[in-house]
Amino acid sequence: MLLACAMSSYSQQKKVTVYTTAANTDLRLAQTGTLEFKSMPQPLETEPCVFVDPKVSFQTFTGIGGALTDASAETFAKLPKAKQEELLRAYYNVNNGIGYTFARTNIQSCDFSSDTYTYIEEHDSTLKTFNIKHDLQYKIPFIKAATQAAGGKLPLFVSPWSPPAWMKDNNDMLHGGHLLRKYYQAWANHYIKFIRSYEALGIPVWGLSVQNEPMAKQKWESCIFTAEEERDFIKGYLGPTLAKSGMSNKKLLSWDHNRDLLYQRASTLLQDKETAKYIWGIGYHWYETWTGSDMQFQNERLVQQAFPHINLVFTEGCVEKFDYNRLHDWAIGERYGYSLVNDFNSGTVAWTDWNVLLDENGGPNHVGNFCFAPVHADTRSGELIYTNAYYYLGHFSKFIRPGAKRIVSSSSRSPLQTTAFRNQDGKLAVVVLNMSDKEIPYHLWIAGKAAATSSQPHSISTLIIE
């Protein structure tokens, strides 16, 4: 009864504030007006609507953030102090920025490192030489600064790209290869060493993924885990080692690769009870589009339907093939908006962008895999360049806060894509994405009341009902 009353009050007594980012305008997360609800018992088919139902809720929101990589940290260190402070405020301050609440970092080197490095000496399977000295120069200070800017709390998950070369059958940290079974326990111990080393320096680790992109043989750091190998590694080594080390509370994410094989990997792992008991969530990326495919959101929904207790986490995405002349290409931000809306509607609880910051070349990257980030630093001038991806992300991260519940938001027109959340303070955040060339008038409708508004061409809006 209380929920029904609350639902009615949203439309009858509350105000709606609209924030918009739109192509061919100066609007960037700009407040563009307030709306009023009026009686509208039954919309006609000719009247486009976004129907919101706060009575029906789904998954609980964990957070949105980006990866604090070596590349981001090294680029950050090259900025003047005032610009460093600006970047931290832009990402992590909810009032004067977009309020990131989630983060990722790499265990040992990845492609977005300036070189290949490890934390242990050659053939040290006992890990006696384990040392994170490499990270003390740039990455650890950057993670600490971001955490402080976020108010002292920034849930961080950590991911390896490759074990040391000598632990693998190709004797190479790059170019795929498999972890040798005789080193399964040593590698499981390595995660523990890493987590303890970071936490000893005051950086809490919220969770970890088993392996970044376990089916990709890359020219950079990579390591192949088939579904059966990952199952056996979790069940026999990593899961028990976390438990014995008092780290059962760390959120373990498996897969951490594209949506295309998502269901096959999830079913192989989660249908094995001894493996499933250690897994908190399934991570995924958006790069299945390399095949020419669209983003395969249906695979997320199938995993969520088949394993409703599991948590879906978007663990990485970026726009590849950096080109300085494309920094303000509107398609970059729209790719983010399209993924975010559909990922959350498919049951995702957390969403993690790739590098939070890169330089004017889309790096540094030690194998030339240069990419876009939401913010770039021109290290020649010390200036920050905000792509529209930053603003598209902000339409979610600024207004949807940890602990929010996704609620029904249903569009009567396919060009109006939408998702919505109810925050713990009772405010509703309704996101409306329009990737078409047309302005679309519509009504925001709740329980027989509606507020008239319009969606600009190639725009994203967040409507806050309070």
Q: Pick from 317, 362, 323: which is nearest to 337 by CA?
A: 317
- Any alpha helices (H) in 132-258, and if so which ranges? 133-136, 139-149, 184-200, 227-233, 239-244
Residues in the chain: 466
Residues 6+ apart with CB under 8 A from 413: 48, 440, 442
Q: Report phi then psi at 40, rounded to 5.
A: -155, 75
- Read off the tokens for 234: 């979790």
Residues 6+ apart with CB under 8 A from 77: 138, 141, 142
Sign of the Cα torsion 118, 119, 124, 126 reads: negative
18-38 b/e (C-beta count within 10 Å ≥ 16 → b): bbbbbbeeebebeebeebebe
Q: How far is CA 344 from the centre of its chain?
A: 11
Q: How far is CA 332 from the centre of its chain?
A: 16
Residues 6+ apart with CB under 8 A from 135: none
136-153 b/e (C-beta count within 10 Å ≥ 16 → b): eebbbebbebbbebbeee
The catalytic site residues sit at: 213, 316
Q: Pick from 446, 451, 356, 409: which is nearest to 98 by CA?
A: 356
* Number of helices (H), then strands (E), in the chain: 13, 21
